Structure 1
Amino acid sequence: MVIPFIYADVVKASNEDLTYTISVKPVSNQIDKQATYYDLLVEPSQKETLTVIVSNTGKEEKTLRVTPTNAITNQNGVIDYSRQDKDYKYDSNLKIPFTSLVEKEKQVTVPAGKSEEVRFEMTVPKEPFKGMILGGFLVDVVESEQGTDNSASGGVKIVNKFQLVKAVMLRESEETVKPEVVLNEVKPDLVSYRTAVTANLQNTEPTMFGDMTVEAKVTEKGKKEILKSDTKKGLEMAPNSNFDYPIMWNNERLDPGEYTLSLLATSGTKKWQFTKDFTITKDESNKLNKEAVELEEPEKPYWLYILIIAIFILLSLILLVLVLRHRAKLKQQQKKAKRGSHATGHKTKGGHKGGSKKRSRKSDRKE
């Protein structure tokens, strides 16, 4: 198992746009004294004040928002401290999220060239916990809405042009907890509106790890030929988190059928091997292929069209020949029938003439 580096700052913009900085105020129970984030050894029911220092390096006054967040693993296989939507579902094994231990988000107005401290009260759970609780303090800018009636809406909006974060790691012991990875659902999906199959990988333990390599192969069920394969290195996972590992389908159609996924995940000396069957239904195939972008349509089998046309022409010719032969045969039969009727008529006429001659001769003799 490899422990990933805890990122002190996460920036979602170029440095040219960054006109504020953040730091944390050291506390006595910091484990790693050199770290620029919180790495704290805590005790059950302990109360502590965590302080985020925000500095405005710009030329104008700024209102900054400081939000406690929980660490997750995003679809890129990276530990992520971003703010999540309200309906976001955290991992089922995450029993103590960091956000449940501290106060809610706060806003502070900082004059140009000045710094302000933003304090959050934290209370450690009464019951002991193993491993770690991982979260962070995320900071972004709140700007006035131009052209908006301030009396109606407060004239405030959040501008997520860039964000900075400081991680917070809580432990009650420095004992190492080993991660455990399981494979959950495998399904057809769209990733950035492109066809893919995703495999949900879950770290069920309260520990983070990194330097993970994932190798995935998809075949038709019962066959050995590899349809699609994918390998990614340098992945990491937050404690008690999961993410959908994507096997991209190269903009090809997701055909209905039964498939098998073979997946190997490794981190240091730890290995997790999985084999799982899954099905792509006709309805799933039609829906996802319809919604996908840049989908490559299968090449049209022109040779098949040519073959069908050739067979149709051939059958038409054969039928025509048969019809013509049948008509010719009928004509021949009709001609024979006419000839036969003429011959019979001639014989009948000749017989009548002979009879009359004989009768006339007999009558002459009597006379």
Structure 2
Amino acid sequence: MSFFKKISVLFVSVLFFSATVAGLMSKSASAAELNFSVTSVLPDNQIDKKQSYFDLKMKPGQEQTVYVMLDNATDKKVTVMVSANEAKTNINGTTQYDKNKIERDSTLNYSLEDIVTVKNKVVIPPKKKVKLPVHLKMPDKEVKGIILGGLSFQQKESELDQAEKDSAKENGMSIKNRFSYNLAMSLKMTDDQVEPELVLNKVEAQSINARTVITANIQNTQPMLMNQLEVNAFITKKGESEKLFKKNMKEMQMAPNSNFNYQIPLNGEQLEAGTYTADVTAKSMGETWHWKKDFTISSDEAKQLNKADVDAKDDSINWTMWILIAVGIIIVLLLLLILVRQNKNKRRS
């Protein structure tokens, strides 16, 4: 077989293999999608009736039960795990309604988790619907702003594991996916306006996902959503004007009474010990906040972060490498010298 024929056969084989794997992956992914649907039953005190999430106007001390319809369209029973969660802001500047490990903010006085009572497990028979009651008990004291959170629904882990085993037997391949449905819930008592306020807390260097970043902790101290948030930040050496690291992000959103670490990447640059200044500007809700905060990186901290950073560019001289290269060059020169002498001796003889 000629060289070009071998290349053609190899190319067709790779295409066939890629198409086969793609087909199996699409089957596994579709099998792993949600096996149930979630629909809110909106009550009379729904503020915005065009929304599908709960947006309720309530009174101090009021108790109310709202309902969520869970629909199982499959031929097998579906066990759904349910949780009520307070809204938080993740590191990407997005409001998160699911169950997570983000710490509760110090300014949050009333959490949806303390207001909602709901079953943590619901079994939906095959081809059936279940009307799930969600009980609300508002604080006795009048609260300004909104109490925001969500209801999270996810199929029981053991049922998903079994479905994946069945899929692996059928397709010869299994992909582990986990999907959840999050239904937002916003509660408020008054229409009084809340003045927006953002605060810059600690600025420091951290290692996140094996990469060094400067984090500026921004906090929303008020019970209101901060929409269309834009943050522009840059880092300089203290007393200098050169922008060493910078980042600008738009269209973020912060949950009420929450905080998040705005990340400024180093993009592989080495972090030096010293004192730096973070210059941060935030814009949202027609307001602008501007902060400057100094922070110090110790020598040990810089070494540890640079060592852990997989993208860090090492600008130091690698003496070991240069010594090995020099030794190699010397050996080659010696060998050439020996060969030249041997050649001369042969000619003389």
- Scaled by the length of structure 1, the TM-score of the pair is 0.71
| 1:41 maps to which of 48, 57, 68 | 57
Displacement after TM superposition at 1:294 (Å): 3.3
| 1:60 maps to which of 68, 76, 86 | 76
Is the 8 Å Cα contact of residues 75 and 243 (structure 1) preserved in structure 2? yes
- With 258-267 and 106-115 compared, the bigger mean Cα shift is at 106-115
Distance in 2 of aligned mates of 1:228 and 1:170: 40
Displacement after TM superposition at 1:301 (Å): 7.8
Aligned residue for 1:121, secondary structure, equals: strand
Aligned-pair identity in percent equals 35
Q: Indicate whether 1:215 and 2:229 are aligned.
A: no
Alignment map for 1:225-240 (pairs within 5 Å)? 225-240=242-257
Match of 1:247 in 2: 264
Displacement after TM superposition at 1:164 (Å): 0.7
Instruction: Structure 2: give runs of 5+ residues left out of the alignment.
Output: 1-27, 163-175, 327-349
Distance in 2 of aligned mates of 1:28 and 1:266: 36
Residues 142, 264 of structure 1: CA spacing in aligned structure 2 closer, same or farther, 3 A cutoff? same
Is the 8 Å Cα contact of residues 29 and 177 (structure 2) preserved in structure 1? no
Distance in 1 of aligned mates of 2:86 and 2:30: 25
Match of 1:290 in 2: 307
Displacement after TM superposition at 1:61 (Å): 1.7
Match of 2:156 in 1: 142
Residues 281, 39 of structure 1: CA spacing in aligned structure 2 closer, same or farther, 3 A cutoff? same
Amino acid aligned to 1:277: D
Alignment map for 1:47-196 (pairs within 5 Å)? 47-85=63-101, 88-103=102-117, 105-144=119-158, 161-196=178-213
Q: Indicate whether 1:263 and 2:273 are aligned.
A: no
Amino acid aligned to 2:139: P
| 1:205 maps to which of 222, 226, 236 | 222
Match of 1:317 in 2: none
Displacement after TM superposition at 1:14 (Å): 6.8
Displacement after TM superposition at 1:280 (Å): 0.9
Match of 2:37 in 1: 21
- Scaled by the length of structure 2, the TM-score of the pair is 0.75
Q: Runs (4+) of structure 1 moved beyond 6 Å?
A: 13-16
Instruction: Structure 1: give runs of 5+ residues left out of the alignment.
Output: 1-12, 148-158, 310-367
Distance in 2 of aligned mates of 1:68 and 1:160: 22
Aligned residue for 1:39, secondary structure, equals: strand
- Deviation by residue 1:23-74 (Cα, 9 ceiling, x = unmatched): 1111111101111000000001100112222112334221001110110000
Distance in 1 of aligned mates of 2:43 and 2:196: 28
Is the 8 Å Cα contact of residues 267 and 311 (structure 2) preserved in structure 1? no
Residues 50, 290 of structure 1: CA spacing in aligned structure 2 closer, same or farther, 3 A cutoff? farther
Amino acid aligned to 2:148: L
Is the 8 Å Cα contact of residues 98 and 151 (structure 2) preserved in structure 1? no
Rg larger for: 1
Match of 1:30 in 2: 46
Is the 8 Å Cα contact of residues 64 and 141 (structure 1) preserved in structure 2? yes
Is the 8 Å Cα contact of residues 68 and 105 (structure 1) preserved in structure 2? no
Distance in 2 of aligned mates of 1:68 and 1:268: 28
Is the 8 Å Cα contact of residues 188 and 280 (structure 1) preserved in structure 2? yes
Amino acid aligned to 1:297: D
- With 116-125 and 240-249 compared, the bigger mean Cα shift is at 116-125
